[in-house]
């Protein structure tokens, strides 16, 4: 399952018979997140019942759960967590349909207008948004379209203290035709919008595939990044010695910039999922 499929089935996994296989006491899971606030995306761990997952995450020292629909924003608070990145809508085509298409602005703005106040009330600091698929548009036109749409919502985001995070994704492996597939494209948008509440979700997995040079990019573009996602390359699996990134060095570089947002783990485990998550938390604790 990838994130497209997970979004379509959001919330259904908790009812799966397979979920019971991962129910286990969380008291033995302890840890510290050091200088970074670490979070974890829900969808790769969907086989674990939501309450068990929240308890395990909190026991590991995680501060939040990432990529949750509105119905879960308040629920995570029962476990001492917050939703670090919320979905403003649950619909087909969420990734493909973004701000690069002005015909979609009414829908996208309506979704954000409705959910920004709700996110603020629930203590969810970020809402995810997409640049959208290229569909033949030039980068110049797409950047202008994105800026025009985001300029219409930034005041509301600023008023409520909720950051709209536009995600950078790879178009080489996972999201063919996605236009926001390079850091420079995303920076051109958010720099022009010039709002502290419109920034980038820098997904390290995706940007390693597209352009590499991750640590230098993080240092150079720190002012435009509000959120990070992790994931091993290749395959988006564990942050271990089966893949090509040095996660301790990356985590250190992020912390050294003075970053105060969330670093959310978004990898698909191939082994015991909670053991893999605990290992990821440890390697990114700096």
Q: Give 115-161 pLDDT, tens digit per residue.
A: 999 999 999 999 999 999 999 999 999 999 999 999 999 999 999 99
Q: How many residues does the chain have?
A: 286
Mean pLDDT of the chain: 91
- List the beta bridge partners of residue 164: 127, 198
- Residue 12: the pLDDT is 39
Examine the pLDDT at 4 and tell me if it is beyond 70. no
Q: Which pLDDT belongs to residue 283?
A: 97
CB 264 within 8 A of CB 38: yes
Whole-angstrom Cα distance, residue 146 to residue 186?
Answer: 10
| Residue 29 clears pLDDT 50, i.e. is over it | no
Between β-strands 126-130 and 198-203, what pairing exists: parallel, antiparallel or unpaired? unpaired
**pLDDT per residue as tens digits for the range 149-181:** 999 999 999 999 999 999 999 999 999 999 999
Q: Is the pLDDT of residue 23 over 80?
A: no
Model pLDDT, residue 190: 99
Q: Please tell me the pTM assigned to this model.
A: 0.90
> Domains of the chain (ranges plus CATH)?
3-283 (3.20.20.150)
């Amino acid at each position: 399952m990838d994130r497209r499929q997970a979004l379509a089935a959001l919330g259904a996994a908790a009812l799966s018979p397979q979920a019971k296989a991962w129910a286990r006491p969380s008291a033995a899971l302890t840890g510290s997140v050091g200088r970074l606030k670490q979070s974890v995306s829900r969808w790769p761990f969907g086989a674990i019942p939501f309450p068990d997952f929240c308890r395990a995450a909190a026991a590991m020292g995680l501060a939040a759960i990432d990529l949750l629909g509105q119905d879960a924003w308040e629920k995570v608070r029962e476990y001492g967590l917050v939703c670090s990145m919320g979905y403003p809508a649950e619909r087909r085509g969420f990734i493909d349909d973004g701000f690069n298409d002005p015909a979609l602005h009414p829908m996208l703005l309506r979704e954000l207008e409705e959910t920004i106040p709700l996110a603020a009330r629930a203590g969810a600091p970020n809402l995810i948004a997409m640049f959208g698929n290229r569909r033949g548009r030039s980068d110049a036109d797409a950047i202008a379209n994105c800026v025009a749409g985001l300029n219409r919502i930034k005041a509301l985001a600023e008023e409520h203290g909720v950051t709209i995070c536009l995600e950078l994704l790879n178009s080489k492996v996972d999201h063919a035709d996605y236009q926001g597939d390079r850091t420079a494209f995303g920076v051109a948008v958010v720099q022009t919008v010039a709002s502290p509440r419109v920034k980038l979700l820098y997904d390290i997995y995706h940007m390693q595939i597209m352009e590499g040079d991750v640590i230098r990019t993080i240092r150079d573009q720190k002012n435009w990044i509000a959120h990070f996602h992790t994931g091993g390359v290749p395959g988006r699996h564990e942050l271990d010695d089966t893949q090509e990134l040095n996660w301790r060095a990356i985590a250190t570089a992020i912390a050294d910039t003075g970053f105060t947002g969330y670093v959310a783990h978004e990898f698909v485990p191939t082994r015991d999922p909670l053991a893999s998550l605990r290992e990821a938390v440890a390697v990114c604790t700096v």
